[in-house]
Chain A
């Protein structure tokens, strides 16, 4: 009986955030099948630790688990490749006032925008996804990504600069 109540409460609190969980996992893993696996694994983890969930925002709680699960998976994926770990300084963007190409972004092609986001380094990508698509406040993003508020702000700033540069550079391709 207790088990059943527990499960029903879990389903009521967690399942409404399945889209948010899948969206984040999909943007972090780049493909549907892995994203589904990540969400399923995250939900099972969440269920296992559900007794430890002391109220609060259940979406933030689930997204934190999804993000951790995806990062573990990403590290395993990266272990098989030879990728240079991302360093924010190396990828930093020049001052944006001097770049005239950033000035005309009124009509952004959806496919280009999607590709730009896919290419964006994961630390910036997750911040942009959580901010623009989930519309989460900085405080929640800071909880989910385990970084201070100031870092959330600077990651959003750098991520946006990066996207602008990318879009400006690819503006006239295939047109």
Chain B
């Protein structure tokens, strides 16, 4: 080992960080090289001086108390934060539970309902009832100018009555019915032997909506809103012809 290499490794040797082979090599070099040994001795003297000259600062006694106190405080704060977050979570859990319970109660006890279809069920029931009882029409007339004025004073709106005889849908009369917690107009049309009930009442929304189709128990229910009125057409007529009927109504209202 030459002096350059020995001096490169001198500090690691001093700190006992060299492996066995390098340690022995440095030792051998120091035994044969007075210059390097002198440098080494100086560093060793410096190291000893630093270690033995009480340069180490002991922590003041107060510091430990101070730290114990602050850690305790931080710990309590963390505990409080955790407990409050727990209680926040439990409030949320109670709310979700209540929501689920009320949803369950709603679907379980609401008559004939399956969510948003409850009105469709009502319309269908009304349609079926009108066919069962001998009470299809209150005002039997194929004349729109007879049917329309009949509703005057019976409803707080005036339902549009359209004559579609030319298109094969014969108006056979009108009837008062009760749907969605209010009196509604029911116009009755006939296509061959199929009865069509067209229910009309004021809509909560003024914006017109697309026709949506329901087919419960073999009947077709078509629903749309237009010009502030809600329309439900119910019939056992095939869907194509019923849709044609609906388009004709929509075109003339």
Contact = CB atoms under 8 A, between A and B. Distances in A.
Interface residues of A, number: 46
Interface stretch (B38-46, B86-94, B139-147, B241-249): B38-46
Nearest to B63: A36
A18 B59 contact: yes
B45 A105 contact: yes
Given A21-B59, A22-B63, A133-B55, A164 B46 contact: yes
A156 interface: yes
B56 interface: yes
A160 interface: yes
A15 interface: yes
Interface stretch (B23-31, B67-75, B231-239): B67-75
Nearest to B49: A108
A137 B42 CA distance: 21
A133 B67 contact: no
Contacts of B39: 96-97
A11 B68 contact: yes
Interface stretch (A2-10, A52-60, A72-80, A82-90): A2-10
A44 B70 contact: yes
A132 B51 contact: yes
Q: Is the interface of A mostly helix, strand, loop or mixed?
A: helix
Contacts, number: 113
Contacts of A110: 53-55
A15 B15 contact: no
Q: Is the interface of B mostly helix, strand, loop or mixed?
A: helix
A117 B50 contact: yes
Interface string B168-186: 0000000000000000000
Contact of A32 (B45, B60, B70): B60
A163 B46 contact: yes
A43 B72 CA distance: 11
A106 B47 CA distance: 11
A18 B78 CA distance: 23
Given A36-B60, A47-B74, A18 B67 contact: yes
B64 A40 contact: no
B4 to A, nearest CB: 11
A157 interface: yes
A3 B55 CA distance: 38
Contacts of A147: none
Contacts of B110: none
Interface in A111-158: 113-114, 117, 128, 131-133, 137-138, 153, 156-157
Given A27-B57, A40-B70, A110-B55, 19 more contacts: A6-B75, A7-B72, A15-B67, A15-B68, A22-B60, A22-B63, A39-B63, A43-B71, A44-B71, A97-B39, A103-B38, A103-B42, A110-B54, A117-B50, A132-B47, A133-B56, A138-B12, A157-B10, A160-B46
16 contacts: A7-B71, A11-B71, A15-B64, A26-B57, A36-B63, A40-B67, A40-B70, A43-B70, A47-B75, A102-B42, A106-B45, A113-B55, A132-B47, A160-B43, A160-B47, A164-B42
Interface of A: 3, 6-7, 10-11, 15, 18-19, 21-23, 26-27, 32, 35-36, 39-40, 43-44, 47-48, 96-97, 102-103, 105-106, 108, 110, 113-114, 117, 128, 131-133, 137-138, 153, 156-157, 160, 163-164, 167
